[in-house]
Amino acid sequence: MAFENEDKAKGYWRENLRLVLGLLAIWFFVSYICGIVLVDVLNQVEFAGFKLGFWFAQQGAMYVFVALIFVYAVKANALDKKYNVHED
């Protein structure tokens, strides 16, 4: 066991899940909510020459996806350090 004790192992996993679920909530929001479910509502709003809902579906969601992965990488690496389970 790489963790000092059982509690640390549980704590690490809980924090990891919270991080992942938080990011997936944003992932779901920008693609399924803004780009699909609420697209007609958002299309009433104009945004830089686009209808906003359309922009999310064909541009915005993809930019957010890229950002999410890098945020995850940075935060997950920091979490590993905090619990001292990073690679040498």
Partner 1 sequence: MDLQTLTYIIVGATFALYIGIAIWSKAGSTKEFYVAGGGVPPVMNGMATAADWMSAASFISLAGIVSFVGFDGSVYLMGWTGGYVLLATCMVPYLRKFGKYTVPDFIGERYYSQAARTVAVICAIFICFTYIAGQMRGVGVVFSRFLEVEVDTGVYIGMAVVFFYAVLGGMKGITYTQVAQYCVMIFAFMVPAIFISVMMTGHIFPQLGFGSQVLDAAGNPSGTYLLEKLDGLSTQLGFNQYTEGSKSMIDVFAITAALMVGTAGLPHVIVRFFTVPKVKDARSSAGWTLVFIAIMYTTIPAVAAFSRVNMIETINGPESTGVAYETAPQWIKNWEKTGLITWDDKNGDGKMFYANGEQNEMKIDRDIMVLATPEIADLPAWVIALVAAGGMAAALSTSAGLLLVISTSVSHDLLKKNLMPNISDKKELMYARIAAAVGVIVAGYFGINPPGFVAAVVALAFGLAASSLFPAIIMGIFSRTMNKEGAIAGMVTGLAFTSGYIVYFKFMNPELNNAANWLFGISPEGIGFIGMIVNFAVALVVSRMTTKIPDDVIEMVEGIRFPKGAGGAQDH
CB of 41 to partner 1, least distance (A): 12
State yes or no: residue 29 binds partner 1 (CB under 8 A).
no
Among 14, 25, 32, 82, binds partner 1 (CB under 8 A): 32
State yes or no: residue 7 binds partner 1 (CB under 8 A).
no
State yes or no: residue 59 binds partner 1 (CB under 8 A).
yes
CB of 5 to partner 1, least distance (A): 13
According to DSSP, the residues that pair with 71 across neighbouring strands are none
Distance, in Å, from the CA atom of 83 to the CA atom of 63, rounded to the nearest integer, reads: 31
Decide: 64 and 30 in contact? Cβ < 8 Å.
Answer: yes
Of the CA atoms within 13 Å of residue 82, those in its CB half-sphere come to: 13
